[in-house]
Amino acid sequence: VGDAQDAFSYRFIRTRKGGSLLMFNGYTYSKRGNTQNYYCSKKDQGCKAGVKLDEHGKLLIKRTSVHEHAQPNYYITDTGAY
């Protein structure tokens, strides 16, 4: 059984277009504006899930962690992008 820190581990992934997304629990989040707020990548389709990073990079659940859609499928390209 993992500890509480394991439940909030995340990573940044690089997209094929050169952008960056935060991946947490199989879902991706994009940064909007000049804050540490990240919104579900499906926000424009109505999903309200979001997370925030504190000043030390610790992940905080900002809103509901329930997504209104299935987890997206991501594949790693030969260059390491998703």
Residue pLDDT tens, the chain, 82 long = 333 444 578 999 988 888 899 999 889 999 988 888 999 999 888 898 999 998 888 888 766 777 888 888 877 777 766 6
- How far apart, in whole angstroms, are the C-alpha atoms of residue 44 and residue 14? 20
Contact 39, 32 (CB under 8 A): yes
Instruction: Indicate whether 69 belongs to any domain.
Output: no
pTM equals: 0.76
Instruction: Indicate whether 68 belongs to any domain.
Output: no
pLDDT of amino acid 65? 72
Instruction: Indicate whether 77 belongs to any domain.
Output: no
Contact 23, 11 (CB under 8 A): yes
Q: Which of 60, 22, 16 is nearest to 40 (CA)?
A: 22
For residue 24, how many C-alpha atoms fall within 13 Å in the half-sphere facing its CB?
A: 26
Q: Which residue segment(s) compose the domain that 32 sits in?
A: 4-61
Instruction: Indicate whether 34 belongs to any domain.
Output: yes
- How far apart, in whole angstroms, are the C-alpha atoms of residue 44 and residue 2? 33
Instruction: Indicate whether 67 belongs to any domain.
Output: no
Domain count, the chain: 1
